[in-house]
A and B are shown apart, each in its own frame.
Chain A
């Protein structure tokens, strides 16, 4: 059997709330510490305990770590998902299962490995009865480690990190790992091709999740106030502030330079954050789509009243119940136009964990510089999963506090200032902050009904002037925005635009489009709206530009259409929305489906192109290019079951 080294996926099927996340993170971290590029994605239901949940890990020597839609190794711990888990293993793959599950195993095209998890744990007198299920998860870590050559020293390192060096739990769990490994060594014969081999491709990298990175980045940005309300998948961002502020902003006198308030709802969360931003604090909130819905009126007010505030939206699916624990890029147009009346939001789009850190501090600068709400759109995949990342970089520029007039400034200009006067011609006025003791410093803040000196007015010409200035301010803001990241391909004939957490999937798709499908594409990852000039210049270069995103209605595509209507015919939406982290498979298939070999397109030409594309897919020999139709896990399971019946 030909060995497959450092190029496979592992999926663990467990019950929600069974404590398997420690075990799964241990596998992820062990592979990471072996120097092999790796990712781990928790695909979990909205539930505290009992429902099936999956954790999918991908190790890839070439650095392609987007979620794979195929499961080379499956570990089944949950009787409720056993059948489906077994069916999901790719032919030639490996299936590990807890041997207390007595269900028929009919597949002969995969390696089957029973694991006596319960009896191993029961036989360890050091494991208290209450801990048996928890520690039992470590047995599968050990069995897997033995079977795929995962380094036990790295497993120990991962456990030491997880338990913060506490010897007792480390020992208890590592003993279970060793027992699992020992069992496998004695009893299991290797029948699958998957192996790990140490590399050096993760040297100097860290592992962290985007929410934690955002919180820490905000602290390095001098955050002073956050109002927040619990919501999956954003809660851990505000909790990260609570975890790291005491550590990073510790003072000898024990006093605090910040306040984090858990509000009664998202309306109050943003209300407090706006109050604080208005009064001169580096202020933020964090939420997800449903919370953002509640924040809408306040967001609009902050836009018109020109209050600095940062709003993190860790995107997920849907209002109410449904798929609240599934990832999405579904809030883009909503955020872009949030608030009633005319409004345009400044949006940052981090693409990985280190950018969550960077945008953490940069967003606070931008909010005070532009005097407007800054929305940072992350998502569940980036926010809650552990990602390999560059280490966080210390900000190289001092805090930008924007245009603020204090007492001496007002004195210098003899009190002659107007809150909404466009002195510098960039649409950004000067502001004062409560606590300023100069008798000419105060002004009264309202929504739209004010003149340049913040006096109440309903005068039409004044309203128009103000609205036009706000629009100018928005477009001028593009000069402060992070520029897009270009991933070029030699001889590219088409372009790909994407944003956020899909980067890994798009990079992989870009590679296989070039190597397998003969379609060379430059890839531009947009990082902010309003767009910088690079975006339109990129679009101008190609006849076809594919806009890849995780939503139904192709929201970035819509915004690009609005901004650049002259290029409408060359923009092609590639939108996908199954709630799962992006995969190279759907990006590649989506692009091929929209690709037109000869432009301009006529119906017949289009049909031919599509056919060609399909053909290209079919003849592909790459093992990574499993280009069957089904896009969801369930469908994959179904199709492999169907194949089996044949």
Chain B
């Protein structure tokens, strides 16, 4: 997956920011061959390239796990912080105060977000931190060699672990009930949708959660497993087509792009087409409807993909704090230290 598709109408290999796709790349991936996470990294690169985002205008964050390794594999020119297991949200929350014009991109996993980091996951939602929060969800702990994660479905059989006795956590539902302002789900095997959702998430002011089912080729790819390619292929149920239209960029029709995405397209079968038609009228601004659809899909064992919920009316965390226009990290003594006379004022306030 290292294709560099020329954009229609654009100068060869350079976007409107004057950057080549190479300017968005990272170090070579050290994840397993065929890992869904690599495909997501490529879509992050593509989405940022196509939205003409300057790498220096973004900060990238992660916690710990296979997914959290992946920020090394995109955006070399972007400041990044590979933090602690489950604690990426707090690092991002603090860092994004430093320059409120910058966008955060966080990559986490199901262990990182739904288990050890559940607390921070929920609180970064309710604070509406201005970042894209990607959960590369494979239902399994990869780096520690295949234990169940909290998103693994009940009854899942894994080689060393036996049968999973617990009910799973649904990332999107958790995000929605925590008042996230953008909630979407996709499937790593559908890169076109992943990319379009990423573009929409980048354009959203506030927290944008992307739960991307990203099969683990090594530890969790049995045909019956929720997070496998085979299951995803059979059960994916896109809510509706979305196409992000960036200002001043050529529109690329989804159908054309789909034609271009050969490997992933071969993963789909006819059933998804039927289900898509059913949900064409879905309104992603209706929170109640979003919850209903998720509940319904859970009961029917469907994998609902697409933009489940969006609310563009809520202020982001930094909006709430009414910060000065200059990025806080560019302020100097003049702005930060009270003037000399203030010390007498303070001493006078003491008894």
| A-to-B contact residues, CB < 8 Å | 29, 32-33, 158, 161, 206-208, 216, 219-222, 224-225, 227, 244, 248-249, 251, 253-259, 261, 263-265, 267-283, 297-298, 301, 305, 386, 389, 391-395, 398-399, 432-439, 441-447, 455-456
Contact A272 B93 (CB under 8 A): yes
Q: In the assembled complex, how far is the CB of residue B126 from the closest CB belonging to chain A, in whole angstroms?
A: 9
Contact B80 A301 (CB under 8 A): no
Bitwise interface map of B from 77 to 106 toward A, beta carbon under 8 Å scored 1, else 0: 111111110010111111111110110000
Contact B56 A272 (CB under 8 A): no
Residue of B whose beta carbon sits closest to that of A261: B93
Contact B83 A301 (CB under 8 A): yes
Distance, CA A272 to CA B120, complexed state (A): 11
For residue A270, which residues in chain B have a CB less than 8 angstroms away from its CB? 90
Distance, CA A445 to CA B351, complexed state (A): 46
Contact B325 A255 (CB under 8 A): yes
For residue B5, which residues in chain A have a CB less than 8 angstroms away from its CB? none
Q: In the assembled complex, how far is the CB of residue A473 from the closest CB belonging to chain B, in whole angstroms?
A: 20
Distance, CA A183 to CA B325, complexed state (A): 62
| B-to-A contact residues, CB < 8 Å | 23, 27, 54-56, 59, 71-72, 76-84, 87, 89-99, 101-102, 119-120, 122-123, 318, 321-325, 327-333, 335-338, 340, 342-343, 346-347, 350-351
Contact B325 A279 (CB under 8 A): no
Q: In the assembled complex, how far is the CB of residue A384 from the closest CB belonging to chain B, in whole angstroms?
A: 15
Known: A206-B347, A432-B79. 4 other contacts (CB 8 A): A207-B351, A298-B84, A399-B336, A439-B55
Contact A433 B338 (CB under 8 A): no
Distance, CA A255 to CA B320, complexed state (A): 11
For residue A282, which residues in chain B have a CB less than 8 angstroms away from its CB? 336
Residue among A224, A227, A275 with the highest chain B CB neighbour number at 10 A:
A275
A256-B323, A281-B328, A439-B77 as given contacts; A398 in contact with B87, CB under 8 Å:
no
A256-B322, A444-B82 as given contacts; A298 in contact with B98, CB under 8 Å:
no
Residue of B whose beta carbon sits closest to that of A223: B336
Q: In the assembled complex, how far is the CB of residue A291 from the closest CB belonging to chain B, in whole angstroms?
A: 14
Residue of B whose beta carbon sits closest to that of A28: B351
Distance, CA A324 to CA B220, complexed state (A): 47
Contact B337 A256 (CB under 8 A): no
A259-B323, A442-B78 as given contacts; A224 in contact with B120, CB under 8 Å:
no
Contact A271 B329 (CB under 8 A): no
For residue A280, which residues in chain B have a CB less than 8 angstroms away from its CB? 98, 328-329
Contact A442 B56 (CB under 8 A): yes
For residue A275, which residues in chain B have a CB less than 8 angstroms away from its CB? 81, 90-96
What are 23 A-B pairs at a CB distance below 8 A? A227-B93, A227-B94, A248-B338, A251-B324, A255-B325, A256-B322, A257-B331, A258-B328, A267-B120, A271-B93, A272-B90, A274-B94, A275-B95, A276-B95, A276-B98, A279-B95, A301-B83, A391-B343, A399-B333, A433-B329, A435-B99, A436-B56, A445-B82
Contact A434 B102 (CB under 8 A): yes
Contact A259 B56 (CB under 8 A): no
For residue A253, which residues in chain B have a CB less than 8 angstroms away from its CB? 324
For residue B331, which residues in chain A have a CB less than 8 angstroms away from its CB? 224, 257
**Which of the residues A257, A267, A278, A444 comes within 8 Å of B324, measured between beta carbons?**
A257
Contact B55 A281 (CB under 8 A): no
Contact B94 A225 (CB under 8 A): yes
**Which of the residues B54, B97, B333 comes within 8 Å of A259, measured between beta carbons?**
B97
Distance, CA A207 to CA B258, complexed state (A): 72
Distance, CA A389 to CA B346, complexed state (A): 13
A222-B337, A392-B346, A456-B72 as given contacts; A445 in contact with B328, CB under 8 Å:
no
Distance, CA A510 to CA B81, complexed state (A): 51
Residue of A whose beta carbon sits closest to that of B343: A394
Distance, CA A432 to CA B93, complexed state (A): 19
For residue A251, which residues in chain B have a CB less than 8 angstroms away from its CB? 324
Q: In the assembled complex, how far is the CB of residue B277 from the closest CB belonging to chain A, in whole angstroms?
A: 42
**Which of the residues A161, A297, A437 comes within 8 Å of B84, measured between beta carbons?**
A297
Q: In the assembled complex, how far is the CB of residue A280 from the closest CB belonging to chain B, in whole angstroms?
A: 3
Contact A399 B324 (CB under 8 A): no
Contact A255 B323 (CB under 8 A): yes
For residue B327, which residues in chain A have a CB less than 8 angstroms away from its CB? 435
Distance, CA A206 to CA B81, complexed state (A): 44
Contact A208 B336 (CB under 8 A): no
The 5 closest A-B pairs by CB, nearest first: A271-B90, A275-B94, A222-B336, A280-B329, A279-B98
Distance, CA A256 to CA B77, complexed state (A): 30
Q: In the assembled complex, how far is the CB of residue A150 from the closest CB belonging to chain B, in whole angstroms?
A: 16
Contact B324 A256 (CB under 8 A): yes
A222-B337, A274-B91, A434-B95 as given contacts; A279 in contact with B59, CB under 8 Å:
yes
Contact A263 B97 (CB under 8 A): no
Residue among B83, B93, B331, B350 with the highest chain A CB neighbour number at 10 A:
B350
Residue of A whose beta carbon sits closest to that of B57: A437
Contact A281 B97 (CB under 8 A): yes
Distance, CA A332 to CA B330, complexed state (A): 35
Contact A435 B329 (CB under 8 A): yes
Contact B98 A435 (CB under 8 A): yes
For residue B95, which residues in chain A have a CB less than 8 angstroms away from its CB? 275-276, 278-279, 434
Residue of A whose beta carbon sits closest to that of B91: A275
Q: In the assembled complex, how far is the CB of residue B28 from the closest CB belonging to chain A, in whole angstroms?
A: 11
For residue B81, which residues in chain A have a CB less than 8 angstroms away from its CB? 275, 278, 305, 444-445
For residue A257, which residues in chain B have a CB less than 8 angstroms away from its CB? 323-324, 328, 331, 335-336
Residue of A whose beta carbon sits closest to that of B119: A264
Contact B347 A391 (CB under 8 A): yes
Q: In the assembled complex, how far is the CB of residue A296 from the closest CB belonging to chain B, in whole angstroms?
A: 11
